[in-house]
Chain A
Amino acid sequence: MTAIDASNASAPSDAAVLARPARTGWTPRRRQLVGSTSVLAVLLLAWQLLPQALGTPSYVVPVLSDVLVALFDPAAFPRYLEAAGATMTEVGLGLAIGVGLGLALAITLAQLPTLYGIVFPYVVAIESIPKVAIAPLFVIWFGFGLSSKVVVVVLLAFFPVLVNTIHGLRSVDRDQVDLFRVNGATPMQVRLRLLVPASLPQIFSGLELAVAASMIGAIVAEFVGAQKGLGVLILQAQGRMETPAVFALLIILSALGIGLNVLVRLLRRLVVTWERH
């Protein structure tokens, strides 16, 4: 009897506890969203107001509205579009080739332990040097056109994919391999139906790194010597001291980088459906 009374007595307060978040709508997720939006609003406001208040000249730090004017300047739009197209062509081509080569070499090395032992120390060594420093050399070798940029992007996209994929392939469960062998699987079946799918999470992690690296590669390669691209426009704007345009171009670059990253993560969700989030 007393037990029932006690549970009855506590029932309303339990309900109140459960109802509280729903009533005010302050779920943790919502809190985060409101928080990060406020941070952005404060930063943008500061950007608009602080340079004027401190008397900073526009060619050093332009106010937000000047940057927005430069960004949405109808006269500049075709140039932005053409440059973005050129840069993304370099990124796209370089990524495709770099990722393809990285995957192919990773699969080869993972299956040939001796070759892996010979080659991998060099991979690590090359991985640890700042590869963008080779960009000037590539301009000498491949000229000012598309190919020298693509080569730099390939080089930068290749390594994260190679290293992550190898790691994924080599950590595949021995018992799963035995399972395939016991059922008479061919080496090609082991590769395509076990090793590759099992490594997809790591392959995608490599891909995310490769995407970020390839944007860096394309821009640096354009700085070094190019006729087209967002990197070229940034240098031109800098030469004319048009700092608002520099900022506008940086915003375009960031948007493209974020877009590409979101695309890869979306693809990962679609492909690696068994991964827990």
Chain B
Amino acid sequence: MSALVELDRLSKVYSTRTGDVVALQGITLTIDEGEFVAVVGPSGCGKTTLLKILANLEQHTGGTGILGNRELGGKASDDVGMVFQKATLLPWLDILANVLLPVTLKRRASAADREAAMDLLRMVGLEEFAHKRPDELSGGMQQRAAICRALVHHPSLLLMDEPFGALDAMTRDALNVEVNRIWRETHKTAVLITHSIPEAVFLAQRVIVMSARPGRIVEEIEIPFGRERTLELMGTPEFAALSARIRRDFEVKAA
């Protein structure tokens, strides 16, 4: 496995009117191609900031970062797909056009692009909704469409910032199973930010625990389960033990 993301003592200071805010400090992290990494940490510890730096939406202020074969902080890379906490679909486009947005911002969508988008929608069970407007879909369905949109241009890195935080527990479980399947089928490298420790353990191969501000990495836990995860896994003692351990790290080291 070769590394897709390499962060070396990366830091981020926001300059604000009321003074400097150190959001991230000394983040050293390597993510292999095809790996699924989850990041947990207290609110305000810099998780979103980390994701935005990976997406080139924010510039880091110290250290170095490499994504693929490019330095972070240069020209905005379009080699990432991003899923936000809200679905952020454009209400004036139908679902298919929303999913195709990353393509149509660069060129006219070809028949092959449309086919790829329909394949993704089929994979999440939304093919019948391709020509509906977003407000005709439930919150969970909208978030599924947003995941399709993040994948349609075949990015090498999938970034998700608390994608299911606004959904109910049942929908969330169902979407977690789906994300696991998508990850297995597309072989994407994925970074998931979540407030839910079970969600992190369920989806990730490695869980990163961050400390309260200034955000540092205080623990990395390998999750020894196979690539395929099913909901039954959540009921196993191993799963409970890992979740409990991360919760303890969270309370002792991250606070």
A residues apposed to B, CB below 8 Å: 173, 175-176, 178-185, 189, 193-194, 197-198, 200, 272-274, 276
State the CA gap A146–B82 with chains docked (Å): 55
Q: Which of B56, B92, B106, B153 contacts A197 (CB 8 A)?
A: B92
Partner of B101 from the list A181, A183, A272, A273 (CB cut-off 8 Å) is A183
User: Is the CB–CB distance between B102 and A183 below 8 Å?
Assistant: yes
CB contact between B78 and one of A173, A182, A200 (< 8 Å): that residue: A182
- The answer to whether A182 touches B88, judged by C-beta atoms less than 8 angstroms apart, is no
**Chain B hits for A273, CB < 8 A:** 92
The tally of CB-CB contacts under 8 A between chains A and B is 53
Kindly list chain A residues whose C-beta atoms are within 8 Å of the C-beta of B55.
178, 182
| CB<8 Å pairs between A and B, sample of 23 | A173-B86, A175-B86, A178-B55, A178-B57, A178-B84, A179-B82, A179-B101, A182-B55, A182-B56, A182-B57, A182-B76, A182-B78, A182-B80, A183-B106, A183-B153, A184-B106, A185-B105, A194-B90, A197-B92, A272-B92, A274-B91, A274-B133, A274-B135
- Closest A residue to B78 by beta carbon equals A184
Task: Given contact pairs A181-B76, A200-B92, enumerate 6 new A-B contacts (beta carbons under 8 Å).
Answer: A175-B88, A181-B57, A183-B101, A193-B105, A198-B90, A274-B133
Inter-chain contact A173/B88, CB cutoff 8 Å: yes
Alpha-carbon distance A276/B85, docked complex (angstroms): 24
Shortest A117–chain B CB gap in Å is 14
Against A, the Cβ 8 Å flags (1 = close, 0 = not) of B57-85 are 10000000000000000001110101011
What B residues does A182 contact at CB under 8 A? 55-57, 76, 78, 80, 82
**In the complex, chain B residues whose CB is within 8 Å of the CB of A176:** 88, 90
Complex-state Cα separation, A183 to B92, whole angstroms: 19
Using Cβ atoms and an 8 Å threshold, which residues of chain B touch A194? 90
Query: Is A274 in contact with B57, judged by CB distance below 8 angstroms?
Result: no
User: What total of chain B residues lie within 8 Å of the partner, measured CB to CB?
Assistant: 23
- Check A179/B135 contact, CB under 8 A, given A185-B105, A189-B105, A197-B92: no
Residues of chain B in range 32-56 having any CB-CB distance to chain A below 8 Å: 52, 55-56
B80, B86, B88, B133: residue with the most chain A Cβ atoms closer than 10 Å? B88
Q: Are B101 and A274 within 8 A (Cβ)? A: no
Shortest C-beta distance, A181 to chain B (Å), equals 6
Q: Which residue of B lies closest to A273 (CB)?
A: B92
In the complex, the answer to whether A276 meets B135 with C-beta atoms within 8 Å is: yes
Please provide the chain B residues from 85 to 107 with a CB less than 8 Å away from any CB of chain A in the complex.
85-86, 88, 90-92, 101-102, 105-106
Which residues in chain B, 215-239, are within 8 Å of chain A measured between CB atoms? Answer: none
**Known contacts A182-B57, A182-B80, A274-B135; A197/B102 CB under 8 A:** no
Contact A274 B92 (CB under 8 A): yes
Closest 5 CB pairs of A and B: A184-B78, A274-B91, A183-B102, A175-B88, A175-B84
Q: Is the CB of B105 within 8 A of A183?
A: yes
Q: Is the CB of B78 within 8 A of A183?
A: yes
In the assembled complex, which residues on chain A have CB atoms less than 8 Å from the CB atom of B56?
182
**Chain B residues with CB under 8 A of A276:** 135
Q: A277 → chain B, closest Cβ, in Å?
A: 12
In the bound complex, how far is the Cα of B152 from the Cα of A119, in angstroms? 42
Q: Determine which residue in B57, B77, B80, B90 has the highest number of CB atoms from chain A within 10 A of its CB, and name it.
A: B90
Among B101, B133, B135, max chain A CB count under 10 A is at B101
Q: Which residues of B contact A189 (CB under 8 A)?
A: 105
Q: How far is the CB of B201 from chain A (nearest CB, A)?
A: 27
Q: How many Å from the CB of B110 to the closest CB on chain A? A: 17
CA A179 to CA B92, docked complex, whole Å: 16
B52 to chain A: closest residue by CB = A178
Instruction: Report the bound CA distance from A197 to B93 in whole Å.
Output: 10
CA distance A254 to B61 in the complex (A): 62
CA distance A272 to B92 in the complex (A): 8
Choose among B52, B92, B105, B133 the residue that contacts A184 (Cβ–Cβ < 8 A). Answer: B105
Closest chain-B Cβ to A196's Cβ sits at a distance in Å of 10
Task: Tell me which of B76, B80, B105, B135 has the highest count of chain A C-beta atoms within 10 A of its own C-beta.
Answer: B105
A120 to B232, CA, bound (A): 59
Residues of A close to B76: CB separation below 8 A: 181-182, 184
Of A179, A181, A183, A272, most B-chain CB atoms within 10 Å: A183
Kindly list chain A residues whose C-beta atoms are within 8 Å of the C-beta of B133.
274
Residues of A within 8 A of B85 (CB): 175
Q: Which residues in A have their C-beta under 8 angstroms from that of B82?
A: 178-179, 182
What residues of B have a CB within 8 angstroms of the CB of A175 in the complex?
84-86, 88
- Which B residues lie within 8 Å of A272 (CB)? 92
A197 neighbours in B (Cβ, 8 Å): 90, 92
Q: Which residues of B contact A181 (CB under 8 A)?
A: 57, 76
Chain B, Cβ-Cβ closest to A272:
B92
- State whether A179 touches B78 (Cβ < 8 A): no
**How far apart are B10's CB and chain A's nearest CB, in angstroms?**
19
Residues of B within 8 A of A180 (CB): 105
